Each structure stands twice: as structure tokens, then as C-alpha cells.
Amino acid sequence: MNKHNKTLMRLEDLLPTLSKHRGWAEQLDLHSIFLNWHDLLDADVAEHCQPLKIVGKILWVEAENSAWLQQLQFQSAHLMDTFNDSLRISKLKGVRFCMMTEDRVAVKKQEQVLSYVQPSSKEIKDFEYQAAGISDKDAREALVRFWYLSQACRKE
């Protein structure tokens, strides 16, 4: 092994130790929540809020509007458990919620793009067969239209 490789190995051993002594390992662990946000939350919840910052082991989460702010507050204990269960070496002390500013909501909305993917004729026929048991024709057709739109319009 040459001198250069020995230096690299020492640096490789030094980085984990340095990050541990500087408290970086814990900070990196806490901020892994940002990277795993969409895996930790239900898709619908993750779509309407986002992590803002961590200050003093308190995670600040921005909600898109007041309805989502209230919903998140009702779920705060569950969210704390979910986030802390995902962490390896640290734990959050709390979760706080705030409203997203209008300009941040606009940017978030621009990032969401709907695409249209037409269900196959077999999928349509299969669902129509399932809905055939509904005797009210208007209700049955409305259900089929709703199903069709829910299948065809997807967020990317």
C-alpha cells in the first residue's frame, strides 16, 4: 500500500469521528426527514405540507392552508412517532406547524404536473361490470365517470 492510500484511509476513518464529535452525525440524522418526507407520510399529506427547518430538535412543518394546518395539528403525536421511528441516532423533541407563504404555495403548485393516462378498454369494461349492480342509472354513470377521472388524471 502506498503512502497516498494510507492517507486516504486515515481520512476515511477521520470523517465519521469528526462528524460525531462536532454533532454533525445527529444533525444529518435529523435532516434525513427532509430526504425521506414522501416515504414517511401518506401521499396526500406529503402533497400539502413540507418540512421547513429543524431548530433545537423541533421540526417546523409548513402547511399549504389553514385546513391542512389544523389536520396536521390533530396528527402531531402520530407524526412525531413516525419521524422519530425513522431516525437512527437522534430524536425530535417536537413538531410545530406554520402556514406556507403564498409565493411558496404558488411554487409548490407549479411543481405538480397532472398527466393524462387513459385506462385500457379492459379496465373500463371491468369497472363498468362491477358498477352494473347499481340500479340507479345516473348514480352508476356518475360513479363510472368518477372512477375514470381518478384513473386517468395522475400527478407526476
Torsion of CA 36, 42, 44, 49, to 10 degrees: -40
Residue 69: all three cell numbers together: 394546518
pLDDT tens track for 28-74: 888 889 989 999 999 989 989 999 999 999 999 999 999 999 999 99
Given CA atoms 96, 97, 103, 105 in this order, what sign does their dihedral have?
positive
Check: CB of residue 63 under 8 Å from CB of residue 49.
Answer: yes
Q: How far apart are CA 6 and CA 56, in angstroms?
A: 38
Per-residue model confidence (pLDDT) at position 40: 95
Has domain 24-112 been given CATH number 3.30.300.180? yes
| Domain definitions of the chain by residue range | 24-112, 115-155
pLDDT tens track for 83-122: 999 999 899 999 999 998 877 666 666 565 556 677 888 9
